[in-house]
Amino acid sequence: MGEWVLFTLHFQVFIICINRDCSITLPESPTGSVKDDVFSWGVVGHLLDSWEDRLGFGLSGHYNSSENFQPEGARVNVFGDPVGAPSGITQEYGFSLDFLDGRASMRINWFETSVVNNSATGIGVATVASLDQLTYDSIDQLIIDGINPPEFADLYELAPQAYQDVFNYELFTVDGIRQMEFTSPGNVVATTDFVAEGMEIEAIFNPLPNWRIMVNVAQQQTIRSNTAKAFSELLELRQPVWDRVADFWQDDRLNIKIGENVKRRILDPTRAILLLDGSPATEQREWRANLITSYDFAANSSLKGFGIGGAYRWEDSVAIGSPTIFDNDLQDDVLDVKNPYFGPKEDTIDAWVSYERLIFDKQVNWRLQLNIRNLLDEDDLIPVAQDPDFTYVGMRIRPGRTYTLSSRFEF
């Protein structure tokens, strides 16, 4: 069944102070500042009118280049080294055609965006500290209980001092048992660079003065690089320590050893992300396309003021999981993130009908429109996550048919 949505109200909540002091005191100078200089420029060229008359179509070309950066607070890597603000440059170029006396036009645009120092998602910068705490807190007790041998205490070392300083390690004893605490500051990040490039095509055709057809197609591909360099260096420093204690028990439940816990909590998730460097981002839909048409009935027809329209929207498939392959170097199964499982391509059909007229002595233009999203009411389950054994572990329900009625007044 469909859902009727008649009106949407937007409102703001204001806090009013009555009979008490609500003043806010700001510091005389900011606690930090981020600044940079950026430069953008562009150029557009058109054919001379005399040339367009001879050729029978208009032609324009364009090129744009723009620098940008995202001001963020003071960020540091896992060793406390400053990390610069995310910054990048976008370049666009293409051309536009105008023909059939203005009844048809087409625009093609290519673009490339390069970004450095972008915050990388999925990298657990605090996982090493969390594992340190779990292991350090249990060293003495596991030896006392006879679960791990006495040399366990000498073989395990905490993370490098620079990392300890960043995460505020505190070491102490409780009844002779070693304990550790840490706090994770919010400005510790892993970064990645990426280059996104693609193209956009848009074509508009008016077969009749009151009939409009538009098609747009977009393609984009993003390739990451230099992901989590500092964090990878930290893991290389920690690996010899983890290897020394890999066969010792992690806790008194005897259900997991340290080596397996490190692999599960830190190494495998990190490797899965690092392996994506140099390959197109598979979680991004590479292609999208839309076909949109609208028709307004003529002023001399019995349906004067009415209009109808429809749209077909299509999206490419997206990665939802990965198989496993055997890595000869690691002598272990790893996720094959470069050959993922893909979910289904998706499409939907929308439609609308409108009515427009002048009211209040022709001083106000009134437009009433009913939009129907997902006209065919397709409600399939769409897989969003898949395990290496092909089992779907996450599904979403496609939104059903939805009706939206809007009323607009133009003065």
pLDDT for residue 339 is more than 50: yes
pLDDT for residue 32 is more than 80: no
β-pair partners for 97: 59, 106
Smallest CA-to-CA distance from 209 within 91, 286, 50, 103 is with 103
pLDDT for residue 180 is more than 70: yes
306 confidence band (pLDDT: 50, 70, 90): very high
pLDDT of 76-117, one tens digit each? 999 999 998 899 999 999 999 998 888 999 999 999 999 999
For residue 305, give every residue at least 6 positions away whose Cβ sits within 8 Å of its Cβ, in sequence order, or none.
Answer: 297, 355, 356, 357
Strands in 149-190 per DSSP E: 170-174, 177-181
State the Cα–Cα distance between residues 46 and 60, nearest whole angstrom. Answer: 4
pLDDT of 105-162, one tens digit each? 999 999 999 999 999 988 999 999 999 999 999 999 999 989 999 999 999 999 999 9
pLDDT for residue 71 is more than 60: yes
- Measured at the CA of 140, the angle between CA 139 and CA 145, to 5 degrees, comes to 105
Of the given ranges (18-22, 117-121, 303-307, 394-398), which has the lowest mean pLDDT?
18-22
Tell me what pLDDT residue 19 has: 54
Torsion of CA 158, 160, 162, 168, to 10 degrees: -10
State the Cα–Cα distance between residues 314 and 344, nearest whole angstrom. Answer: 11
3 confidence band (pLDDT: 50, 70, 90): very low
pLDDT of 250-293, one tens digit each? 887 778 899 999 998 999 889 888 988 988 888 889 999 999 99
Each residue of 243-254: b (16+ CB within 10 Å) or e? ebbeebbbbeee
pLDDT for residue 241 is more than 70: yes
Coil vs helix vs strand at 384: strand
β-pair partners for 109: 94, 200
pTM of the model: 0.76
147 exposure class (CB count in 10 Å sphere: 0-12, 13-18, 19+)? middle
Is residue 248 within 8 Å of residue 322, measured between CB atoms?
Answer: no
pLDDT of 192-227, one tens digit each? 999 999 999 999 999 998 999 999 999 999 999 999
Residue appearing with tokens 């930290």: 234
State the Cα–Cα distance between residues 170 and 372, nearest whole angstrom. Answer: 59
Of the given ranges (47-61, 127-141, 166-180), which has the lowest mean pLDDT?
47-61
Is residue 280 within 8 Å of residue 313, measured between CB atoms?
Answer: no
Task: State which H helix or E strand residue 165 sits in.
Answer: helix 161-166
pLDDT for residue 23 is more than 70: no
Tell me what pLDDT residue 355 has: 95
Give how far Cα 39 sits from Cα of 72, 122, 235, Å: 19, 32, 38
State the Cα–Cα distance between residues 72 and 186, nearest whole angstrom. Answer: 12
Tell me what pLDDT residue 157 has: 93
Is residue 347 within 8 Å of residue 382, measured between CB atoms?
Answer: no
| Total residues belonging to the chain | 411
Tell me what pLDDT residue 2 has: 42
pLDDT for residue 307 is more than 50: yes
State the Cα–Cα distance between residues 173 and 137, nearest whole angstrom. Answer: 9
pLDDT for residue 390 is more than 90: no
Output phi, psi for 155, to 5 deg. Answer: -80, -25
